[in-house]
Amino acid sequence: DAGVIQSPRHEVTEMGQEVTLRCKPISGHNSLFWYRQTMMRGLELLIYFNNNVPIDDSGMPEDRFSAKMPNASFSTLKIQPSEPRDSAVYFCASRELDPTSAFFGQGTRLTVV
Amino acid sequence: GESVGLHLPTLSVQEGDNSIINCAYSNSASDYFIWYKQESGKGPQFIIDIRSNMDKRQGQRVTVLLNKTVKHLSLQIAATQPGDSAVYFCAENTSDMRFGAGTRLTVKP
């Protein structure tokens, strides 16, 4: 398995634009997590899904952020409109439903100018 | 100027020395624990895990110790190498998988 795949690896966008981050979890993993990492706030959990269903989105900063998981092999995190303070590295991770170790993607470095 | 940001516990060791990174957990019902390593520019990676029916588990150059009485974990790295420089996170077996600040390990040549 190629591991958790995120795209794009880097994204530079202008303030106000819509940004979509993508994640392909490891096949057979039932839980998927989205994180944001910054120097100021560390590694923050934004939202997680079990069996494609959002379980806890309390970490989503505000209504500008939304996440979907239309099927077991794909998830998106969308920011609309983007703001400079959204600049961060966004990680996706997946694991089996019964809590075990998680596998992280390489991350998407987002810069909003 | 003064740097601002998340206060990360740091550990600086000499190459070849042993490193010990500590972690406290909060949920006495937790039965599974994981250590992750995050190198610069990469996502966290699994290093080693331990279940609550054990108090020690060894891997290659790493050992995890679990003290359930005081809810404490430690990660020991033997003969620390420059490639061990990273941020290390411990995680409890919870459904939501939240992380603390981590500990930054710096290895001096």
A102 touches B at CB < 8 Å: yes
**What is the pLDDT at residue B31?**
87
Residues of chain A with pLDDT under 50: none
B63 touches A at CB < 8 Å: no
Lowest mean pLDDT among A72-76, B67-71, B95-99: B95-99
**Which own/partner contact pairs does B2-9 have at CB distance under 8 Å and 24+ positions apart?**
B4/A40, B5/A39, B5/A40, B6/A39, B6/A40, B6/A41, B6/A42, B6/B101, B7/B101, B8/A42, B8/B87, B8/B101, B8/B102, B8/B103, B8/B104, B9/B101, B9/B102, B9/B103, B9/B104
Of B40, B11, B30, B43, the residue nearest B91 (C-alpha) = B30
**What is the pLDDT at residue A41?**
87
**What is the pLDDT at residue B2?**
45
**What is the pLDDT at residue B3?**
45
Q: Do A101 and B101 touch (CB under 8 A)?
A: no
**What is the pLDDT at residue B26?**
84
Of B5, B32, B95, the CB nearest to A39: B5
**Which one of A7, A43, A91 makes the best mutation probe of the B interface by having the most chain B beta carbons within 10 Å?**
A43
Tell me the chain B residues in contact with residue A31 when contact means C-beta distances shorter than 8 Å.
95
**What is the pLDDT at residue B62?**
98
Of B33, B29, B31, the residue nearest B91 (C-alpha) = B33
What pLDDT band is residue B1 in, cutting at 50, 70 and 90?
very low
Structure-token pair, residue A36:
């944001």
Residues A57-68: pLDDT tens digits? 999 988 999 999
How many Cβ contacts (< 8 angstroms) between chains A and B? 59
**What is the pLDDT at residue A79?**
98
- The residue among B7 and B36 whose pLDDT is bigger is B36
Average pLDDT, chain B: 90
Of A22, A72, A65, A71, the residue nearest A45 (C-alpha) = A65
pLDDT of B4 over the 60 cut: no
What pLDDT band is residue B101 in, cutting at 50, 70 and 90?
confident
Residues B17-34: pLDDT tens digits? 999 999 998 888 888 999
Contact call for residues A67 and A79 (beta carbons, < 8 A)? no
What is the full DSSP assignment across B29-74?
T--EEEEEEE-TTS--EEEEEEETT-SEEE-SSEEEEEETTTTEEE
Q: Do A39 and B43 touch (CB under 8 A)?
A: no
Interface of B with A in 20-39 (CB under 8 A): 32, 34
**What is the pLDDT at residue B6?**
64
**Which one of B33, B98, B103, B104 makes the best mutation probe of the A interface by having the most chain A beta carbons within 10 Å?**
B98
Residue range B64-93: average pLDDT?
94
CA distance linking residue A13 with residue A83, whole number of Å = 9
